[in-house]
Amino acid sequence: MSFLKKIRLLASLSLAIIFMVSCEGMPGADARKYPPNPDLRVQKNLEEGRGFRLDSAFKKSRGGDFLFASSNELWRASLDTIDFMPLSSVNYSGGIIITDWYSDGKNLDEAVKISIRFLSNEVRADALDIKIFYKNCNQMVSCKITQKSGQLLVELKREILSKAAIYKKENKDKNFKEYKGSKKLAN
């Protein structure tokens, strides 16, 4: 076997392994949520914008589609929730938002800082790791920083998740396109 044939065989095997392994943890693969009829599954997926359509594949686009951060519901909801705070570090690819120290102006000796890490793109409670830090300073410019969990953490997480759920529903409704496949599915 020639060297070139060995390279092609190795590349083919590598691609086959990648494709088989990449299907292992597919999100949303709960059989209870999908109809058993394959034609109905195709219809449902295409209507929700999860399928591949040839009519849109060959349309000429006008420039790039910059959907990265704006298509992630948790990311958008988090930024909208803490939009009143100055941001210190924001890294979409790293999945972290860190605010700067924020004080409401009533008590200048106290400030709060929030760190939000994204553990998943799915809209669920364990997809976020939120940390809230308080800084208390006295007149001697001696500051004490502590991490706290409590009602503010619960309210912040609840607010982000509820906004993300709304964004997800809006996105799903926006992507819905009626399936114009076979007429026998109109049952």
Spans of all domains in the chain: 72-171
Compute the distance between CA of residue 152 and CA of residue 89 in angstroms, rounded to an integer: 21
Tell me what pLDDT residue 65 has. Answer: 44
The DSSP element (H or E) to which 133 belongs, if any, is strand 128-137
Quote the pTM value. 0.56
- Give the residue with greater pLDDT, 50 vs 76: 76
HSE toward the beta carbon, residue 13, CA cutoff 13 A: 6
Given a cut of 90, whether residue 48 has pLDDT beyond it is no
For the segment 2-30, the average pLDDT, to the nearest whole number, is: 71
Please report which confidence band the pLDDT of residue 112 belongs to, taking 50, 70 and 90 as the band edges: very high
Strand partners, 115: 98, 131
- Give the residue with greater pLDDT, 37 vs 154: 154
- Locate 113 and state its tokens: 């800082």
Q: What is the mean pLDDT of the chain?
A: 77
The CATH classification of domain 72-171, taken from the options 3.30.1360, 3.90.930, 3.30.530, 1.10.1760: 3.30.530
Select from 121, 128, 99 the least CA-distant residue to 111. 99
For the segment 65-70, the average pLDDT, to the nearest whole number, is: 48
**Percent of the chain scoring above 90 in pLDDT:** 23
